[in-house]
A and B are shown apart, each in its own frame.
Chain A
Amino acid sequence: MHSFGFRANAVLTFGITILALICAMASISDNFNSPRPSSEIQILNINWFQKQPHGNDEIEDFQVWDVVPICLFSPIDATAAMVSLTMNITADLQSLFTWNTKQVFVFVAAEYETPKNALNQVSLWDAIIPAKEHAKFWVQTANKYRFVDQGSNLRGKDFNLTLHWHVMPKTGKMFANKLVIPGYRLPEEYR
């Protein structure tokens, strides 16, 4: 009962139990935070709007994506359209940060409906906010990821831009939510 082994075991077990309790309490304290984030997204310009060589509709800035792996243009994806746009994103996410927050992952996605697909969500841009000081930001950027559709359904398409945030804690439960900004529209013709 008084050997080193028993004592070490007792200390370790107690220590681990207390640590687990503290982690659980830290995570529960996150529930008391009621965040009030706000954001505005403005599309400055549609840089281009084309059908991919093999047919896919996509909006893209070719200066950035010069080299594209051949496997992405498979004949199965025979008709798809591509879009490239420049956006102005302003957001104030400071109220999301608590003492238990490690980082907030924020991204902007375009959501729209097509005859074939009930819902399409395409992530256009994302960023990691490591601290509260950086949570109020303004960014002007072209879409980081290819805005491609499964098909050529994007002409004249109405879409929503949603700002999603994912709060990643130092320990415990992760929270995610979003802000939907409707009312954007793609041009009627390719250009």
Chain B
Amino acid sequence: MDLLPYSVLILFPCIIECMIVTSALIIWKALMCFTGSESPVVVVLSGSMEPGFKRGDILFLHMSNDPIRTGEIVVFNVDGREIPIVHRVIKVHERQETGDVEVLTKGDNNYGDDRLLYAQGQLWLQRHHIMGRAVGFLPYVGWVTIIMTEKPIIKVCLLM
């Protein structure tokens, strides 16, 4: 090691870091392809689905063209809100010819349904609001992401 020129000693960690970032990206994109969803893994941020999902859990999502039915746990985006919400479907109304659905959701731990969370005047969710269905779950792993988001300094330390 003493005989290696300095430039290699500096380059080596940089290359390793690039490889880590690239492989993370490859895994992410492959998961996106595999699950058919824009964000195949989400972190639970609120306690509205307790005791099933606590803050810091990770949910694996999957989107298929199967119709949406009650009881499914869906992740959806409300117009005007940037953070997607993970709640359970409690009402489904599917139109005869078109197959369009109107869906109402509710968090298990919430008292009322999600109409208060929807956009002003919106009573139902449509299929295009829904990003995926939760099919699997890992506890506690999401705390890594929550800590890295809330204290970005840790992200920097970890990469060092």
Contact = CB atoms under 8 A, between A and B. Distances in A.
Contacts of A102: 51-52
Interface residues of B, number: 32
Highest count of chain A CB atoms <10 Å: which of B73, B90, B95: B90
B141 to A, nearest CB: 9
A107 B71 contact: yes
A183 B136 CA distance: 34
A172 interface: yes
B95 A107 contact: no
A118 B137 CA distance: 32
7 contacts: A77-B123, A117-B93, A120-B91, A121-B70, A126-B108, A166-B73, A171-B137
B96 interface: yes
A38 B134 CA distance: 26
A105 B96 contact: no
Contact of A121 (B69, B99, B116, B123): B69
B115 interface: yes
A27 B136 contact: yes
B37 to A, nearest CB: 16
Nearest to A175: B135
Contact of A74 (B67, B90, B96, B123): B123
A116 B96 contact: yes
Interface in B21-45: none
Contacts of B70: 107, 109, 121-123, 164
A75 to B, nearest CB: 11
B92 interface: yes
Interface in A68-106: 69, 71-72, 74, 76-77, 102-103, 105
Interface residues of A, number: 38
Interface string B51-74: 111000000000000010111110
B78 to A, nearest CB: 15
Nearest to B72: A176
B138 to A, nearest CB: 6
B71 A176 contact: yes
Given A74-B121, A74-B123, A174 B71 contact: no
A171 to B, nearest CB: 6
B94 A117 contact: yes
Contacts of A119: 67, 92-94
Highest count of chain A CB atoms <10 Å: which of B72, B94, B108, B137: B137
Contact of A169 (B88, B116, B137): B137
A191 interface: no
A171 B58 CA distance: 10
B113 interface: yes
B137 A168 contact: yes
Given A27-B136, A169-B137, A118 B108 contact: no
B35 to A, nearest CB: 13
B92 A145 contact: no
Interface in B70-117: 70-73, 88, 90-96, 99, 102, 106, 108, 113, 115-116
A72 B123 contact: yes
B139 A171 contact: yes
